[in-house]
Amino acid sequence: MPGSDVHEFYSAIRQLSIFAKIKDMKKGKILIIDDNEDVLLALNLLLKSHVEQVRVSADPGRIEYFINTFYPDVILLDMNFNRDAISGQEGLFWLEKIKEIDSDIAVVFITAYADMDKAIQAIKAGATDFVPKPWEKEKLLATIFSAIELHESRVEVKHLRQQISALATPAGDGKYEIIGESAVMLNIFDTIEKLRNTDANILILGENGTGKDLIAREIHRKSLRCDKIFVSLDLGSISESLFESELFGYRKGAFTDAHHDKPGRLEVAAGGTLFLDEIGNLSFSMQMKLLTAIEKREIVPLGATRPTPIDVRFISATNANIREMAADRKFRQDLLYRINTIEIYLPPLRERDGDVLLLADHFFTRFTRKYGKKLKGISKEAKTKLQNYPWPGNVRELEHTMERAVILSEKALLGAENFIFTPASATKKSREEFNLNKLEQEAIERAFRQAGGNISLAAELLGITRYALYRKMEKLGL
């Protein structure tokens, strides 16, 4: 086979490969703008069998309408809309308008008056490519497909930049290790392991300071989305007026100070996990908006005209009695069903037998290294004092207590005198600890959680009969 024939043969093979890819994937939305009806008809017939969707118009004034309703990936744009014009200035004018609306759209110019200077001018102005009339079918299709790929790349890069920007925002000190050897914590670790291959929404319940955020991060770290982003939003720290823009984001010009696009946490967390802390603080009206986003798997940022699809795994947490809130119509029952496919109860530190000293040693090591203190350890008296304190602030209070003790210590060994607790808090908590009705109620609720709502198993865990359990529940109003 002669050399030229070989070249033509392999060129044909490459073109067939491109067409096969286009046909198989059938992706891309193409908008064609040209004042020649014959051109619109010919391009529509050619492209509709190769791409996802095609729209045509002879009026460039409708470009904005199509961008906001059709959402094209590529716009095939004529450079001249007056039959006597050959300057291409009209095309450049509409290119600028397109870039102002959506800079990610790929624009390919088409014109019967092609020359190198005009092509260079178009590319410098932001066009993706330049196709002369009459066009060659193979080259046109290859150009269109390349433009579709370019649009996808631009969108992906934009999203990655948004995620990097979000990750650059301080979200803690990076210490996410979970410490615990008590039976209740080992049971939680076992539950997390069982969740490895699921994408179920999780609700974490527990008092303030128990480490609900750490559990959320551990679930993400061991999930199918572990290589994606983890985004956290504390609903207790933002006002209702800011909630919508924080969660859904906004587009440039949505309000007075919206000088640029700002992606919401749902958009930034795409592909990963969104942790909604203190979800019990969410107002009833905002609950509806969140529920809609979860059900439809899409959001509409403030100022946007088109929905944005989301692919997010939701982990929520609250210290509130959310079931009581739902019964009192302060929290939507349908939203509660959506967010708690799996429910995890994180016990307070006072219920984690043996974990107080384990955590104390962990924080002691961390803070002696952080502050360069050469301390030998914690005295026996100090350990007894730590064990006997009820820790109303839970692990967070223990952490701060250990940090303060290490900083202020003037001896080689931390003694009981280094740990000063607020008597009022301790007395109040101690009284609560010895409230028999409260203890029985907590024991029954824990048994039901562990038994998954099965009353026979709950009674067995409590060491009483089903009848005795019924009587206690009636007495306590459960």
Instruction: State residue 349's pLDDT score.
Output: 94
| 334-348 pLDDT per residue, tens | 999 999 999 999 999
On whether the CB atoms of residues 272 and 313 are closer than 8 A, the answer is: yes
- Token code pair at residue 343: 């429910």
Q: Which residue has the higher pLDDT, 205 or 112?
A: 205
pLDDT at residue 241 in the model: 72
Looking at CATH, the fold of the domain delimited by 350-425 is given as Helicase, Ruva Protein; domain 3 (1.10.8)
Question: In the CATH hierarchy, which fold is given to the domain comprising 436-476?
Answer: Arc Repressor Mutant, subunit A (1.10.10)
Kindly indicate the confidence band of residue 247, based on its pLDDT and cuts at 50, 70 and 90: confident
Q: pLDDT grade, residue 350 (50/70/90)?
A: very high
d(CA 235, CA 50): 46
Higher-confidence position of 257 and 289: 289
Q: Which of 108-117, 325-334, 404-413 has the lowest mean pLDDT?
A: 108-117
Separation of alpha carbons 92 and 60, rounded Å: 12
Task: Place 1 in a pLDDT band, splitting at 50, 70 and 90.
Answer: very low
pLDDT average, residue stretch 51-64: 90
Instruction: Give the number of C-alpha atoms closer than 13 A to the C-alpha of residue 367, restricted to the C-beta side.
Output: 22
Does residue 15 register a pLDDT over 60? no
Using CA atoms, how far apart are residues 398 and 149, in angstroms rounded to an integer? 54
Q: What is the pLDDT of residue 163?
A: 59
Distance between CA atoms of residues 417 and 321, nearest Å: 37
Q: What share of the chain is helix, strand, coil (3-state, %, to 5)?
A: 55, 15, 35
Read off the pLDDT of each residue in 71-75 and give the average, rounded to a whole number: 89
Residue 400 has pLDDT above 50, yes or no: yes
**Listed range (71-75, 235-239, 244-248, 350-354) with the worst mean pLDDT:** 235-239
Q: Is the pLDDT of residue 6 over 60?
A: no
Residues 91-111: what's their mean pLDDT?
86
The pLDDT score that the predictor gives to residue 256 is 74
The neighbouring-strand residues paired with 232 are: 275
CATH fit for domain 3-162, picks 3.40.50.2300, 3.30.460.80, 3.10.580.10, 1.10.3720.10: 3.40.50.2300
Give the CA diameter of the chain: 98
Residue 286 confidence (pLDDT) above 50 = yes
pLDDT band of residue 201 (cuts 50, 70, 90) is very high
pLDDT of residue 4: 47
Task: Encode burial over 247-267: b for 16+ CB neighbours within 10 A, e otherwise.
Answer: bbbbbeebeeeeeebbbbbbb
Q: Is pLDDT of 21 > 60?
A: no
Same fold, 183-347 and 436-476: no
CATH pick for 183-347 out of 3.40.630.10, 3.40.50.300, 3.90.1150.10, 3.40.1180.10: 3.40.50.300
Does the pLDDT at position 97 exceed 50?
yes
Ordered by start, the domain boundaries in the chain are: 3-162, 183-347, 350-425, 436-476
Residue 64 near residue 101 (C-beta atoms within 8 A): yes
- Say if residue 309's pLDDT is above 60: yes
pLDDT digits (tens, 9 = 90+) for 129-154: 888 888 888 888 888 888 888 888 88
DSSP string, 17-71: HHHHHHHHH---EEEEE-S-HHHHHHHHHHHTTTSSEEEEES-GGGHHHHHHHT-
Is pTM beyond 0.75? Reply is: no
Average pLDDT, the chain: 82
Contact 346, 212 (CB under 8 A): yes
Would you give the distance in Å from CA 313 to the centre of its chain? 7
Q: Is the pLDDT of residue 398 over 60?
A: yes
Of 23-37, 278-292, 302-316, minimum mean pLDDT range: 23-37
Residue 292 pLDDT > 50? yes
User: Span 389-405, mean pLDDT?
Assistant: 93
Q: Which residue has the higher pLDDT, 435 or 314?
A: 314
- Percent above pLDDT 90 for the chain: 35
Q: What is the pLDDT of residues 142-194, one digit of tens each?
A: 888 888 888 888 877 776 666 555 554 433 344 457 899 999 999 999 999 99
